[in-house]
A and B are shown apart, each in its own frame.
Chain A
Amino acid sequence: MKHGKWPLIVTFLVPPVLLYVFFVVSPYLQAFQISTTDWLGYSADANPVGLANFKTLWHDDYVWNALKNNAILLGLVPVLTIVLGLFFATMLAMGGRKGSAGVTGVRGGALYRTVYFFPQVLSVVIIALLWKEVYHPNKGLLTTALHGLGLPAPTWLGDPATAFWCVLAVMVWSNVGFYVVLFGAAMSAVPKEIYEAVLLDGASRFTTLRRVTLPLLWDTVQVAWVYLAIFALDGFILVQLMTNGGPNFSTDVIGVRMYDTAFGSETKFGYASAIGVVMFFLTLSVAVLSLRVGRRERIEYS
């Protein structure tokens, strides 16, 4: 294999590396440099200001408010999504038919999986715009359903008290199906005999899930956790399109802060990059932490 491999390596590797370095690596690196300037974008020149942007950021109440919202998302979205995902995946994997084998898939399982996965293939834009209509205070599905039952309905996205939870619900809604399929795939790799043995021993479903399934799927759950954590720290497009951070900044997230700072009425590119750099380190530490904290011994079976 040694002979004449270099022409191929060079031809195959140089174009992707150039493309990647030019459009991906260099912007990430430049973000660090720009974050230490007072650049106002476009024509104005950029003066180095050291860490002044980060100092401003530390005292910026809007940034803290957005970070608080991201923190709540980080605390809730992964847990809710994973719990619901595991729950439905378990139901699908061992709903079991009456009187037949101990552990079988539920009838129509394939159809459920197909449908649950729908949100995953839809654009976030479509999800956001669609749910904005579902939450519409007059003609939306939710309001009219509640009114039909004779119940009062909140104004959903229009009320600072409810808007954030409405957005959070959409985040969970759009992710659960993916993790049902992901966990389902992981579960199908677990030998059925294990479940059958556990069931015969008289373990309840909940115990089975907690004591058997979860430890066996731990690697997958952990990866899911990291992905969802990164998602929760982002959440930008959904919020921007559904509420644009409002009403009264109740749904603001750090991504919207950054976007408004850079491309809003003022183009504070230096300050926006500083927010980006903080996000970069936050994302990195959250990812590393979740991998560290969640580390357990791998379970191997054959």
Chain B
Amino acid sequence: MTTLDQPTATAPTPVTSGDRPVRRELGVANALSHGFLLIWGLLTVLPLLWMFISSFKTNGEILADPWGLPGALHLDNWARAWTGAHIGRYFLNSLVVVTGSVSLTMLMGATAAYVFARYEFRGRQIVYYLFVGGLMFPVFLALVPLFFVVRNAGLFNTWLGLTLVYAAYSLPFTVFFLTAFFRTLPTSVAEAALVDGCGHFRLFFRVMLPMARPGLISVAIFNFLSHWNQFLLPQVLLQGDESKWMLAQGLFALSVSQGYAGDYARLFAGLSIAVLPVLAIYVAFQRQVQSGLTAGQLK
């Protein structure tokens, strides 16, 4: 998409001489498009809203009238999920691991991408494509050997192992995105700094990293979401000790146990606990999230 230039900023030219057919069509299309847009909006929101509302209902209310509102706000559902089902602990576990893995991903991704973008050396292309090639394949194709690689390294059932694996599998996208980003930064600043006797390391940390901030934030949010939402890797690499589980594993266990215990309200509360912070972050950083998630495809 690099050939597409930004649209020239011209003011919209109003169609003054009312061209009849066009106008009428616009009117109909206007109503129609609002209708369709609204339907899809409802389709998206309704399940989430239902989950949230149900988390305040009693199990009896959920069974008797799934579409109804709660008679009273039953916050004890949230308490049962947070402490009883250990969702609170899993939430914190995830937070610890994801904080570590995102930091590691950003450090490794940014340094590697900077080298690819700014330095010439033999074999650069090969190493670069080695990284970017990883974008093509789903993680689960490597799952069986990965399990043994992690186990043989003594990292099975450890957060450190999971952190390293998260970071490793995030490198393709991070390197790909940040390399493109570092290339867009002006070279003149870097050259001036080098002429002034600034060292290569200092140049990176003091000049280039701050300049790359918008790109770094987008990728960091992207990585945060994908690590936070990861299910497959913890499922395989953190099988044993329940107290170390990630949030996704806890939710899955909650859903399985719900099948026996019939505690629907607790499941909905658990899901809501997991959804709310992510939605809050998304709404707060909407522009960065959307650009971070879509830019990888547009570049």
A95 touches B29 (CB 8 A): yes
A129 touches B138 (CB 8 A): no
A189 touches B289 (CB 8 A): no
Give the docked Cα–Cα distance between A204 and B232 (Å): 46
Which residues from 99 to 153 on chain B have a C-beta closer than 8 Å to any C-beta of chain A?
Answer: 108-109, 111-112, 114-115, 119, 121, 127, 130-131, 134, 136-138, 140-146, 148-150, 153
Contacts A/B (CB < 8 Å), 30 sampled: A1-B190, A12-B204, A13-B112, A13-B127, A15-B108, A16-B108, A16-B112, A20-B131, A22-B153, A23-B150, A27-B144, A95-B33, A112-B41, A114-B283, A114-B286, A117-B282, A118-B282, A121-B279, A122-B275, A130-B271, A133-B268, A134-B50, A177-B44, A185-B298, A189-B1, A191-B8, A192-B10, A223-B298, A272-B144, A301-B5
Contact of A19 among B15, B168, B225, B231 (CB under 8 A): B168
Q: How large is the interface on B (under 10, 10 to 19, 20 to 34, 35 or more residues)?
A: 35 or more
Nearest CB in chain A: distance from B19 CB, A: 7
**Interface status of B255 (Cβ within 8 A of chain A):** yes
B232 touches A236 (CB 8 A): yes
**Interface status of A294 (Cβ within 8 A of chain B):** no
A23 touches B204 (CB 8 A): no
**Interface status of B87 (Cβ within 8 A of chain A):** no
**Interface status of B251 (Cβ within 8 A of chain A):** yes
Nearest CB in chain B: distance from A207 CB, A: 11
Interfacial chain A residues near B169, Cβ < 8 Å: 23-24
**Interface status of A293 (Cβ within 8 A of chain B):** no
Name B residues whose Cβ lies closer than 8 Å to a Cβ of A: 1, 3-8, 10, 12-15, 18-19, 21-23, 25-27, 29-30, 33-34, 36-37, 40-41, 43-48, 50-51, 62-63, 66-67, 108-109, 111-112, 114-115, 119, 121, 127, 130-131, 134, 136-138, 140-146, 148-150, 153, 164-165, 167-169, 171-172, 175, 190-191, 194, 199-201, 204, 225, 228-232, 236, 248, 251-252, 255, 264, 267-268, 271, 274-275, 278-279, 281-283, 286, 289-290, 293-294, 297-298
Interfacial chain B residues near A57, Cβ < 8 Å: none
Interfacial chain B residues near A280, Cβ < 8 Å: 137, 141
B50 touches A141 (CB 8 A): yes
A92 touches B37 (CB 8 A): yes
Interface residues of A, dominant DSSP: helix
Nearest to B134 among chain A residues (CB) is A24
A189-229, CB under 8 A of B: which get 1 and which 0? 11111001001101011000000000000011001100100
Shortest beta-carbon contacts, A-B, top 6: A123-B229, A23-B168, A30-B145, A12-B111, A27-B142, A27-B145
B278 touches A129 (CB 8 A): no
A283 touches B136 (CB 8 A): yes
Nearest CB in chain A: distance from B197 CB, A: 11
Nearest CB in chain B: distance from A245 CB, A: 14
**Interface status of A124 (Cβ within 8 A of chain B):** yes
A110-137, CB under 8 A of B: which get 1 and which 0? 0011111111111111100111111000
Nearest CB in chain B: distance from A171 CB, A: 14
B114 touches A12 (CB 8 A): yes
Query: Assuming A27-B145, A104-B12, A279-B141, what are 10 further A-B pairs, CB within 8 angstroms?
Result: A12-B204, A16-B111, A28-B145, A95-B29, A106-B30, A189-B5, A219-B1, A234-B138, A273-B144, A300-B3
B41 touches A116 (CB 8 A): yes
Interfacial chain B residues near A140, Cβ < 8 Å: 66
Contact of B200 among A8, A26, A188, A200 (CB under 8 A): A8
